[in-house]
Amino acid sequence: MCGGSITGKPLTSIDFRAIENTVKKNPYVNNAEIFVDQQQGVVVDIVQKRPVMRVINNDGVSYYISEKNERIPVSDNFTSHVAIALGNVAMHKDTKRDSVVQAALYKLILFVRKDEFLNALVDQVYVLESGEMEVIPKVGGQTIRFGAVDENLAEKFDRLKIFYNEGLRKVGWDKYKTIDLRYKDQVVCEKKDTTNKQ
């Protein structure tokens, strides 16, 4: 029995496995367990998929990426407050085969979410046609040219945190138009009021 009310039905007539399987097909559900407790009550234990980033690609397709790197459709009933990825994020018909760009976004956002400062800072990620990333912070109004998500991911974010802590705190968060992390061991900035590099 699945797809109707179980109220008043004998427990032996209820196919809990069929109900579990139906609930697990919901795109927002990670896992579901249904069982009878010691008081003969039916317990439904559902674990939702947790979004870590929302993607809105150049084709206008929008979806979430879960903490397990799965696509979650956008819901009319809720909006998850997570960072947004925009731009050149290709889609495959086979959802198990992620694009290189989506894999890079997933790696980047997992790193960001594990760091309290970065998690509070990062608002958007823009994917350029080249596959390189630009990070848009919640404050300051600058574009952070991150480049490729590669083996230097942690080192780039370390440089950014040092720059925010030691540089921007002294000169002001809104002084620069761009912060470029693409060059090894450097942070290259462009002022908002001039085109000269600092």
- CATH class, range 51-191: alpha beta
In this prediction, residue 94 carries a pLDDT of 60
φ and ψ at 80, to 5 degrees? -90, 130
State which residues of the chain have pLDDT below 70.
1-4, 92-98, 193-198
In this prediction, residue 1 carries a pLDDT of 43
In this prediction, residue 97 carries a pLDDT of 53
In this prediction, residue 3 carries a pLDDT of 58
DSSP letters spanning the chain = --SS--TT--GGG--HHHHHHHHHTSTTEEEEEEEE-TTS-EEEEEEE--EEEEEEETTS-EEEEETTS-EEE--SS-----EEEEE-----SSTTS--HHHHHHHHHHHHHHTSHHHHHHEEEEEE-TTS-EEEEESSS--EEEEE--STTHHHHHHHHHHIIIIIIHHH-TTSEEEEE--STT--EEEETT-SSB-
In this prediction, residue 55 carries a pLDDT of 94
Q: Which two tokens stand for residue 96?
A: 């198990």
All CATH 3.40.50.11690 domain ranges of the chain, comma separated, are 51-191
- Residues 163 and 127: beta-carbon distance below 8 Å: no
In this prediction, residue 19 carries a pLDDT of 86
